[in-house]
Amino acid sequence: MKDFFTTRHTVRQFTKDVVDDRLLTELIEAASHAPTTGNMQLYSVVVTRSEEGKAALAPTHFDQPCVSGCSVLLTFCADYNRFVKWCNQRNASPGYDNFQSFVTAVLDTVIFAQQFCTLAEMNGLGVCYLGTTTYNAPQIADILGLPAMVVPVVTLAVGYPAAEGKVSDRLPVDGIMHNERYHDYTADDIDRIYSLKESLAESKRFVEENGKQTLAQVFTDVRYTRQACEQFSKIYLDFIRNAGYSLPD
């Protein structure tokens, strides 16, 4: 079982084979047994199968080929809408329009999405996480008709693999595990922990292609710049507030 996790990989190319409704429903039902805060299940998932639906969503994910090429696109959303309506209909007064509640719903959603990812891969499907969901949440919400208190968190492209994917490198376990108390990193620790990642041929290619001196500069100056992070932070925070959550300034 350990090998299943250490050899898993993201799939970005899919065959034309369709993930049938019965299998998809079974996987979602099984994933819903993931841990959840207070057994509230503060999430929903919107299933997009149609070519029109995927085409509408594609620009919000920067037209990544796996969006249009997958069998089914799943948008996992933090959802207090359903729970609040239940409270109101049962003479209970909900107080969940706040930052703590939003974070709770996000955690529920991410755990649910990851449980689905693992189950899908165990059943021969390929999955690609799309981190772009939070970048363009307002457009995604509009396309999917999301009501107040429903916020897109993560999207999975799902289908049958068309090609064998590549196992991504990972930091050594001693670089992420702390015993009893957090051990802050020395300069030597950082050099050791990131040495393998920096030595990979593809990492060196990224540095060269982008005209940078280090792999870290590829992240800070090209892939995840301060400007982009701040821009998308404002977009997402504004959307969350407009969805009905009171977030700290």
Round to whole Å and give the CA distance between 103 and 187: 33
Each of the 249 residues of the chain gets a pLDDT tens digit; together they read: 778 887 888 899 999 999 999 999 999 999 999 999 999 999 999 999 999 999 999 999 999 999 999 999 999 999 999 999 999 999 999 999 999 999 999 999 999 999 999 999 999 999 999 999 999 999 999 999 999 999 999 999 999 999 877 888 999 999 999 999 999 999 999 999 999 999 999 999 999 999 999 999 999 999 999 999 999 999 999 999 999 999 887
C-alpha separations of 124 from 119, 120, 167, 203 in Å: 9, 7, 16, 29
Please give the torsion angle defined by the CA atoms of residues 142, 147, 149 and 153, in that order, rounded to the nearest 10 degrees. Answer: -40
For each of the domains in the chain, give its residue range(s) and CATH number, in order of start. Answer: 2-165 (3.40.109.10)
pLDDT at 106: 98
What is the H or E stretch that residue 153 is in?
strand 150-159
| Residue 222, beta-bridge partner list | none
Q: Compute the residue count for the chain.
A: 249
Report DSSP letters for 171-212, one per residue: --GGGT--SSS--PPPHHHHHHHTHHHHHSHHHHHHHHHTT-
Cβ distance 196 to 166 under 8 Å? no
What distance in Å separates the CA atoms of residue 163 and residue 173, rounded to the nearest whole number?
Answer: 29
Assign 3-class secondary structure to 3-41.
HHHHCCCCCCCECCCCCCHHHHHHHHHHHCCCCCHHHCC
Predicted TM-score (pTM) of this structure: 0.94
CB 37 within 8 A of CB 108: yes
Q: Are 27 and 80 in contact (CB under 8 A)?
A: no
Cβ atoms within 10 Å, residue 181? 6
CB neighbours of residue 24 within 10 Å: 21
| Count of other CB atoms within 10 angstroms of residue 119 | 19
Give the per-residue pLDDT at 248.
Answer: 80
CB atoms within 10 A of CB 189: 13
What's at 147, amino acid-wise?
P
